[in-house]
Structure formats: structure tokens, C-alpha cells
Chain A
Amino acid sequence: MKKDLHPLAMIALIAGVTLFGRVLPTWTLSLATIAASNALIALGIVVLARTGNVSFGQGLFFAAGGYGVALIASAWGITDAVAQVIIGAACGGLLGLVVGPLIARYSGIFFGMLTLALSMVFYGALVKSTALGGSDGFNVGRPTLFGLSFTDPREADFMLYAVSVIVTGFAGIGATILFRSEFGLASLAVRENNLRVEYLGISANRIISINFVTAAIFAGASGAFALMAQRHIDPQFAYWTTSGEFVFIAVLAGNQSVAAVFVASMALELVRSFSNLYLPNTWQLVLGVFLLGVILFLPRGIGSLWIRSRRKRSASAEAALTAERGATP
């Protein structure tokens, strides 16, 4: 929640980052595309986490978006990147509309377990379905944009980079506006005490459901990006370790700043690709130590690095609140 950055300045920032892609080396383009796509789904988790619920099954919507795009694109011959993102978001969102209201009644560990269970049911169904390639999945073609097809790999990579940065950027702006809105503040209130929110005449379930659907839309769009970047899809999209990675990014970022989600996602991709390069057998070990370090030394996420100084007073007040909550489970 950057209080001083105007939305127009953010749009300028997105345009700048997109154009910056022209001078980036090719290997960083695909890395940044994945980072932006992961940031989008992690942003959804942060949106939902503001109501106090963490979803360990975002892989469900990630896979729903990916498979939805792959199936519809091959059935109708839609190859346009923007159209595919919209289809992915719609698939994720529709599934979220079905699941959200059912799941909004639960909280804490049960919420997490139920989302995990649903994503694993989906995983089990995908592995079983031979029509969808079973556990091997299937390949899809290269995306186009507004009728243009890109034969040069670098141009294709840049196109995907640009689309993912712009979409994720606008999702970030949307989330910032949402966080500052009355609805966003009510979401925070649900996390603090959902009973009191109910007594104030606001439906906590409705707030959780809406945040859940938002997260599902982001996850579906993110699934579409992952599909376009890899040009392949398999049930691993819905597996619990995939969802775990997205929660990882969300925790790394903390829930104070939208920008932190992008930084965290990029940091994770960089750590991953560098340890892949230099420590090919121990990158999970590096990741685990990295995560422990962040939880231990930056308990409020990477975002607290630049938010802390500005909002010291409110942060210390909130820390006192959480300490109090931690003492009485």
C-alpha cells in the first residue's frame, strides 16, 4: 500500500518496465515472464491473505486456467495471447465462483487444508484423464498477438514479456486500489475479528468469497501465461508443491506492499536460476534456507524493507497486536 504513488505514475512505471525489456538479454526475458506470471498468482494469495485465509490450493485455479486455455485454444483455434489470458482468467474466475462461497465458511488451517484437498482432487482427476494426456500432459502452439505471428524467438519472448508485465502491472494497480477501498479495509477487519465485522452488518463470508474469486481470476490468468511460456501443460500445474511455491512468494513479499510481490517473485526466479546454474543438485536446499532466513529476519516480508521506515508507528502497533494474538491461540 504505497500511499504516495499515484495510479498514473504506476502506469508510467509499467510502460517503462515494458520498454526496458527491449534492452534486456533474451534469457532474462523468459525469466521475467515467469516471474511476472508468478507474481500475479501470488498477488491473488496476498489479496486473499488480507482476510486471514491462506490458500494452499491456488494450483487448482492455475491449472484450470492453463487447461481451459489449452483446450479452448485448440478447439476454436484461438492463438491470440490477450484472448488466451482473458479465457484463462474467466476459467479460473468461474471455478472460483463455484468454490469460493462453499469454502468461505472455513478459516485458518481448515481453509488451507480444504483448498489443498480440492486442488489434489483436480490433480488426481487430471492424471487419470487419458483424453488430456494423463500425467504427461500435452503441447500447444506458439501464441500470436492481434493477428501478428512471431517467428523470431526473441520477438516472441518479448511479446509474451510485454503482455505479462502489462497484465500483471494492471492487476497490481487494481489490487492497490482494492486495498485502499472500503472493501479492502473491511477485508483486513475480517482477519482481525470476523465476528465483530458481522455485528457491524457486513457479511464476512461475502468479503472472503469476493477476495477468493479475485484470487482465482489472477491464478487463472497466471495459468494462461505459464502455458504460453512453456507451450506445454501437465497435471503438475495442480500439484501441491506448485501451490506451495506461490504461497512461498506471497510470504516472501508480506502483505504490506504490492510492489514487494513483484520483487519477491523476481528474487525467487533469480535465486532459482542461479542455483540451478551453479548448484544444480541443491537448489531446493538454497530455497529452503532462503525462506527460513526471510521468515526469521524479515517477519513482515520483503515489503517491510521500505515500508517500515515510513510507517513505523502503525507497524509497531500492529506488531503488538500480533504478539498479543500469538500469546492466546
Chain B
Amino acid sequence: MNFFLTIVLDGLIQASWLFIVALGLTLVFGVLKILNIAHGSFYALGAYIAASTVTMVAARGLPPGVGFVAMLLSVALIAAAVGLLLERGLLKMFYGRDEVVLLLVTYAVFLILEDVTKLIWGVNPIYATQPYEMFGNLEFAGLYYVGYDLVLIPISALIGFAIWFGLNRTVIGKIVLAVIHNEEMSVSMGVRVNRVYAIAFAFGVLLAALAGALTAPKISMQPGLSSDVIILSFAIVVIGGLGSVEGAAVGAILVGLARAASVHLMPQAELFMIYLIMAAVLMFRPEGLFKRETARRI
């Protein structure tokens, strides 16, 4: 029983940060219809910036709580700026082109960011473990957990709720939904779609970077991080349905559980399991578990 509980809790901890990444990816796809390969790079960027901030704060002798807040703030600021800059400066030039071409544009951005992070932070692993200790250890049903890991679960639930609330219960959110459902109609109703695009993309980058910052204390940052993360978040959004918030949540929990289960039962089968689920979902429900059926447009 305890064994089962371990898998579930580990799965939820994994799911919490995966959900934040996938949320960003699904939002960008919903609004801009771009499957963003560079999304993993924004995650890595957030993690690296967080590590630098945490190290800087710790060097001044400030408590880890300050480091935690400082890292979230600095990541949010830089990520929003990078997102706006990329959308306005680069992606804008390719709108109206084929979906696949846009995918390749983000692939190019992925390649570029991969080297930019290497140039700034080097190729050796970087650690930022100070905030990881700040919530102490907790005993839960006879098992010991690092407090930080458990705190991640409510944080990601809160972020998920905030996004859901923002989309469904505010005017700006309703406008974004309108653009998702029918862009042409929104334009003719006077929506400034360009602005919605920029905001949505910046938000997507922000979410990826935030997830990177939140996980930075748990992991070692090194090259290859971004391609590992993008491959997981692709699976999540495809399982849940591209462009769906609820789908991202369910997909993240499924992938988190699959990861945790394979780590405990069959190490190394992890990617295999996750992609098997993704392939199965695509075979039987290609639109994902949560996508509403739409009439085919020709």
C-alpha cells in the first residue's frame, strides 16, 4: 500500500511542474496555432536564471526565502521580456505560413537558444539547492518527503486555477478565447489580434520559465535539459488535447504517474511508457482526451 502511495505522491510532484510547462505550451498553441519546440528552451532559460539569482542572493548571506522570491521575480521579468521580443521581433514575420513552417521556425529558435544558454552558463552542471531546504522535511503516512516538493503541488494547482479563472471569468480571457475559437470573426469584431498574440506568447514563455525556476533547486542544470522537457510536454499536451487547459492537467497527471511508476517499477522504461500512452491516445482519439469536436473546415 505504501509502495502505491509513494508512486502516487511522486507522480503528483512530477505532474505539478510538468503541468505548468504544458499549460504554457497549450496556451501558445491554442492562440497562435504554433507548436512551440523552443518551449523547452524557455524552461531551461528560467532554470538557469533562477540558479544565477539564487547563487547571487546566497552570496550576500540573505536567507533562502529571499532567494526564492527573488528568483521567481527575476525569471518572470526576463521571461516576459524575452517572450514579447521574440513574438514581435521574429515570429510575427512568419504568420500566415504553413503550420509546419512555423514549427521549424521554433526549431531554429530552439537551436539558437541552446547555444546561447551554453555561451552564458557554460556546459558544466549548475546547482542552486539553497531554497530546496527551506520548507524542511515532512513525514507523510510513514514516508519522508522534502517539504519543497510537496509545496510545488498547491503552487501549480494555484497557477492552473489562476489561468482557468483568467481565461473563463475575465474580459481579457474571454477575448483570448474568442481568438482561439475563431480568429477571423474576432478581427471583424474589433479585437486587436496582434496584441492577443503577443500577450499569449509572452504568457507561454513566462509559464515555461516559471516552471524552470520552481524546479531549479531540485535539479542540476546542464545542456540537454530543454530537449528532455519539450519531449515530455509534447506528450502531455497531445494526450490532453492541444489547446485545452483541463487536458494539460490530466495529461500532466498521467505522464507524472507514468514517470513515477516506471522509475519505481521499471527504470529506464520511462520515455517508452510515456510515448506509448501518447501513441495510443493519438491512435484512438487523435484530438486528445479533452478536445471538443469541431466541424471540419476545408
A-side interface residues toward B, CB under 8 Å?
Answer: 54, 102, 106, 108-110, 112-114, 116-118, 120-121, 123-125, 127-128, 134, 193, 195, 240-241, 244, 247-248, 251, 281-285, 287-289, 291-292, 295-296, 299, 322-323, 326-329
Contact = CB atoms under 8 A, between A and B. Distances in A.
A291 B116 CA distance: 16
Given A109-B242, A248-B104, A292-B108, A285 B115 contact: yes
Contact of A54 (B93, B100, B119, B272): B100
A117 B105 contact: no
B48 interface: no
A106 B286 contact: yes
A240 B227 contact: yes
Contacts of A328: 184, 297
A244 B273 CA distance: 22
Interface string B99-112: 11101110111111
B271 A123 contact: yes
B275 A285 contact: no
B272 A124 contact: yes
B115 A282 contact: yes
A292 B115 CA distance: 15
Chain B contact residues: helix, strand, loop or mixed: helix
Given A117-B278, A123-B271, A288-B111, 4 more contacts: A125-B272, A244-B37, A285-B114, A326-B96
Interface stretch (B71-79, B155-163, B196-204, B230-238): B230-238
A326 B98 contact: yes
A109 B35 contact: yes
Q: Which of the listed residues A113, A281, A326 has the most CB atoms from chain B within 10 Å of its own CB?
A: A113
B107 A117 contact: no
Contact of B105 (A124, A195, A295): A295
Contacts of B112: 284-285, 288-289
Given A114-B279, A124-B270, A127-B268, A251 B98 contact: no
B69 interface: no
Nearest to B95: A326
B115 to A, nearest CB: 4
Interface residues of B, number: 50
A136 to B, nearest CB: 13
Q: Which of the listed residues B109, B227, B268, B269 has the most CB atoms from chain A within 10 Å of its own CB?
A: B268
B169 interface: no
B276 interface: yes
A193 B296 CA distance: 13
Interface of B: 33, 35, 37, 90, 93-94, 96-101, 103-105, 107-112, 114-116, 118-119, 183-184, 227, 231, 234-235, 238, 242, 268-276, 278-279, 282-283, 286, 297-298
A285 B114 CA distance: 8
15 contacts: A106-B286, A108-B99, A108-B100, A113-B35, A113-B238, A114-B282, A118-B279, A121-B275, A124-B269, A124-B272, A124-B276, A240-B231, A292-B108, A295-B105, A295-B108
Contacts of B103: 109, 112
Contacts of B107: 244, 247-248, 291
Nearest to A116: B234
Given A117-B282, A123-B271, A244-B107, A112 B100 contact: yes
A110 B282 contact: yes
B111 A284 contact: yes
Contacts of B268: 127-128, 134
Nearest to A106: B286
A114 B234 CA distance: 11
A285 B116 contact: yes
Nearest to A108: B99
A264 to B, nearest CB: 13
Contacts of A54: 100
